């Protein structure tokens, strides 16, 4: 089976490559021949490769900068997936599209289900929401698409909250971290496993893309950014990645103004996805510690 991975150099892309099943032949895109800003390159590349699946990890992910670079974010996050979908509609093949908890406004008091109404409160979330709509408008009726929403992605590679916290623990005596934004951390390896399982189940006809086109996947457990920052420090100190930890001060979002608003509560309900895929997930602390051990081993 031939699978194209866009955004292969990102943290999810790297995890997908490392965890791919043996029967999968992965093709990674390069900007010079596949660019989400170029309709021509998208069509030409996919028509040439004729993949069985595309996993679209490529995205504009700078949430604050998206408020200034709206056109760029929209082209990558909304129009890029639309063009991928158009090609696949014509030549065959399937799309697994990665989306985000930021399509919701964060006003819920219980985990968001896949069918809850979207209402993004920043432009990044809006662009990703339109990207979902474009994919499903084109491919849902032909059962060629799966959208997986995830949240708070972090792992042993790439630029993410955990890696930033390690650096801050090294460099700072005190760190102020928001404590009133609640979500479910997702370790990149866990999400990669869910992606491959979704493809496997879909190809074996155990999973109906048309009736269940949207999935939610995160690790178990919920946390604030403060909880994650504190846990990263404590685990890293215990396993020898850090000699000392910074003092973590919990602050409110109002005391840490950003260009883009963030949802205060964006926990995703993953129960239906686990049932559909016959897959379980670990608590985020368990998988985070495994990844922090990997960082330690790579630095030794």
* 16 contacts 55 by C-beta, under 8 angstroms: yes
Catalytic residues: 124
Output the six-digit token pair for 17: 């490559």
CA distance 278 to 300: 37
Among left, alpha and beta (phi > 0; psi -120 to 50; other), residue 216 is: beta
CA distance 184 to 128: 19
CA 200 vs CA 89, 179, 194, 232, 277: distances in Å:
20, 38, 10, 33, 9
Output the six-digit token pair for 215: 């999935």
Q: At 33, is the secondary structure helix, strand, or coil?
A: coil
* 27 contacts 3 by C-beta, under 8 angstroms: yes
Distance in angstroms between the alpha carbons of the first and the last residue of the chain: 37
């Amino acid at each position: 089976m031939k699978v194209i991975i866009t955004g292969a150099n990102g943290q999810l892309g790297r995890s997908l490559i490392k965890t791919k099943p043996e029967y999968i032949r992965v093709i990674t895109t390069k900007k010079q021949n596949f660019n989400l800003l170029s309709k021509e390159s998208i069509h030409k590349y996919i028509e040439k490769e004729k993949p069985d699946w595309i996993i679209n990890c490529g995205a504009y992910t700078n949430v604050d900068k998206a408020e200034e670079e709206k056109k760029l974010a929209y082209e990558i996050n909304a129009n890029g997936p639309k063009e991928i979908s158009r090609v696949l509609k014509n030549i065959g093949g399937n799309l697994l599209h990665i989306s985000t908890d930021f399509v919701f406004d964060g006003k819920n008091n219980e985990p968001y289900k896949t069918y809850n109404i979207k209402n993004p409160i920043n432009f990044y979330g809006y662009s990703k929401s339109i990207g979902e709509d474009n994919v499903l408008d084109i491919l849902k009726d032909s059962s060629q698409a799966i959208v997986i929403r995830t949240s708070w992605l972090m792992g042993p590679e790439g630029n993410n909250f955990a890696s930033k916290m390690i650096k801050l623990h090294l460099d700072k005596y005190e760190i102020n971290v928001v404590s009133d934004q609640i979500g479910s951390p997702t370790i990149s390896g866990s999400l990669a496993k869910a992606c491959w399982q979704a493809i496997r189940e879909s190809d074996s006809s155990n999973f109906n893309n048309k009736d269940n086109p949207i999935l939610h996947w995160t690790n178990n457990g919920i946390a604030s950014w403060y909880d994650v920052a504190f846990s990263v420090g404590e685990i890293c100190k215990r396993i020898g990645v850090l000699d000392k930890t910074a003092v973590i001060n919990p602050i409110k979002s109002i005391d840490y103004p950003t260009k883009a608003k963030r949802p205060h509560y964006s926990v995703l309900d993953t129960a239906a996805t686990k049932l559909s895929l016959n897959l379980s997930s670990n608590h985020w602390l368990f998988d985070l510690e495994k990844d922090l051990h990997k960082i330690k081993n790579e630095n030794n």
